[in-house]
Each structure stands twice: as C-alpha cells, then as structure tokens.
Amino acid sequence: MAIVETRTLALPGIRLSARVAGAGPLCLLVHGFPGSSYSWRHQMRPLADAGWQVVALDTRGYGGSDRPAGGPWTSEAIEQDLLGVLDVLGAESAVVIGQDFGAKYAWNLARHHPDRVRAVAGTVPFADLPQDAPPSRLWAGLGAEHFLHLHYFQAPGMAERDLGGEHVEEFLQRLLWALSAEGDYFSVFAADGSASYLQALRPAPPLPWPWLTEADFATYVDGFRRGGAGLEFAGGFGSYRAADADWAFESRWLGVPIHQPALLFIGEHDPVRRFTQVDRSLFTDLTEAVVPGAGHHVQQEQPEATNRVLLEWLGRLG
C-alpha cells in the first residue's frame, strides 16, 4: 500500500503544501471550499496503488500553503500555481481532477493549457459564463431579495468578522453538513439578504457523521486556523471576490472546447445539480457519472463509489 507524505513545493513567489503518494504519471487533485488536500484522503492510496503519482494540493490560502498578503486569489493566479507544480515535479503533463472551486481550476487549465493536461475531471459542470454583465452585478440583485452566499462574500471584512475567530468551527460544521446528501443547503435562501452566512445555515447534528469523524473535522479546523485571525478562510473568500476578474479572464476562451478525455462525476444529491448544467458542446470526449448517495463532497461521502468511477476512467486512458 502506498505511503502518503506531506511535502512543501517551492514555486516562484509562493510555497504550497501537498500530500503525495505513489510513482508514475502525475495525477493532480485540487480541492474546493471549504476543503484542503485532506479532502482527497480516501483517493490517495487507491490511485497511487493503481500506478499514479498522486499529488493533492493545499491551494494558496489553504492549509499548510502560503496566504500571501493581498493574494492574488484569481483563477489566473491559481492556474499559474498549478502549472508551477507541474514544473517543480518535472511533469510535462498531468491528469487534473478537481472538486468545487478545484473543478473550475481543472476545467480552465485543460482549456487554457491543453499541452499540460492529459485528461481532466471535475465534480461540478462546466459552461461558459454569461457575458452580459459581471457576476457580482447579478448576485447583488439576487442578494437584495434573499440571502445569497455569492453576494455575501463580496464585501471585504464582513465574512472575516462573521465567520472567523470563535465562529470557525460552527461555520465549517454547518456548511459541510448543509452541502452533504443529508443536509438541506437550499434552506439558506429563506434567510433575509441582511443575514450572515452563519445565521442563514441551519445547525448541524453533532459529530461524528457517517462520512466525517471528529478527528477528520479537527484536521479541517486546524488547516483553516493556520492562517491566523482574519485569514482563516483567505483562499476561499478571496476566490469568491475574484469572480469579476475571473469572468474577464475566462472570456478570452469563450467557445473553446476541451478536447482531452474529460469526466464529470457529481453526487446524486449535490445542490449544484439543481442550478447548473453542463455545456456538452464544450467537450469532445466527455464521460458523465452520478455517484449515488453523495452530496457536494462526493469523494468524501461516497469514497468507494467515487474511487470506482475514477479508477475505471483513469484505466481507459492507457
């Protein structure tokens, strides 16, 4: 069985922490929010034992990675980080697999740098962003009607005050539960637009849960608290606030398809399934899989089923 080690990867201008296992072609795992490299703990050894060098990152602003003052937290900056990881590891190309924000970064990398991405997979659908207005303008209109986390995160300082410090554990527990198969994320929309995210989220049942132990949760909390007061969620909050910059950046590739083998694997009960759709015209070779019994944290909630999907797809790459 493969050994999982923690390494620090020194890139130009930033150091990223990563969990590494195995040897062979590179398979890069990219987490979302709220998450970390630990989100992929159930995938590390099975993929490594199948012949891959598996590297799960803490992206900038998360876990053991640097939280640079002022970021940047844009897709473009994180894209450069991912390319830097490939360079540091001496890989001409990699299979890139992402969850939540990580899926966005994986799809973008495959589209923007096809020579560096052998194949790509993500847990959320991929489509071009609407071009009639920056996202923040749309979110502001919706946020005036009811709570909307996308709008809530736009004001610097507000989320840091409401969700950081003494509130970290409660926020993480409520959000992780709400996004799971057993949770009810859409209840947040019943809250008034002036509510904090913590107020909008319903209380979560006590740990342990079927897919998250108290020790797992403590690892998450420790990773976020490493940033210190006000910077616990620097990477996540920064990514939400970079939405307009990302919209402008990604508009340069409108209509450009992803030609590499691609996999969309999404939880049966993932809230994302209710308000986003995959644009199949942007893929040349797309495999789709719905993982039964999983919510948004598909690779954690149903690890065995997720691993079967991933290993079958990876096995077809040759």
Task: Dig out the tokens for 76 from the structure.
Answer: 């473009």
127 with 252, same domain: the answer is yes
Last residue of a domain, one of 184, 208, 243: 243
**pLDDT for position 248:** 94
Q: What's the domain range around 187?
A: 135-243
Same domain, 32 and 103: yes
**Cα torsion angle, 133, 137, 141, 142, sign:** positive
- Active site includes 58? no
pLDDT, tens digit, for every residue of 233-291? 999 999 999 999 999 999 999 999 999 999 999 999 999 988 888 899 999 999 999 99
106 with 216, same domain: the answer is no
Give me the pLDDT at residue 275, please: 80
Q: How much is the average pLDDT of 207-227?
A: 96
pLDDT tens digits for 52-95?
A: 999 999 999 999 999 998 899 999 999 999 999 999 999 999 99
Residues in the chain: 318
Residues 185 and 236 in one domain: yes
Is 151 among the residues known to form the active site? no
The one catalytic residue among 66, 81, 100, 246: 100
| Confidence (pLDDT) at 150 | 95
Span 132-165, pLDDT tens digits: 889 999 999 988 899 999 999 999 899 999 999 9
Judgement on whether residues 61 and 166 belong to the same structural domain of the protein? no
Instruction: Decide which of 192, 214, 243 is a domain's last residue.
Output: 243
Q: What is the pLDDT of residue 69?
A: 86
Q: Which two tokens stand for residue 216?
A: 């797992």
Asked if pLDDT for residue 130 goes beyond 90, the answer is no
* 157 shares its domain with 291: no
pLDDT of res. 193: 84
129 closest CA partner among 290, 242, 229, 14: 242
Q: Would you place residue 22 in the very low, low, confident or very high pLDDT band (cuts 50, 70, 90)?
A: very high
Q: Is residue 124 domain-shared with residue 166, that is, in the same domain?
A: no
- Alpha carbons 275 and 266: distance in angstroms, whole number: 13
Which residue, of 243, 277, 304, is where some domain finishes? 243
Residue 289: which CATH number? 3.40.50.1820
* CB-based burial, 152-172: b 16+ in 10 Å, e otherwise: bbbeeeebbebbbeebbeebb
CA 120 to chain centre: 14
Q: Which of 40, 180, 176 is nearest to 106 (CA)?
A: 40
Catalytic residue among 31, 112, 151, 296: 296
* Number of domains, the chain: 2
Residues 168 and 221 in one domain: yes
Query: What residues contact residue 158 under an 8 Å CB cut-off, 6+ apart?
Result: 152, 196
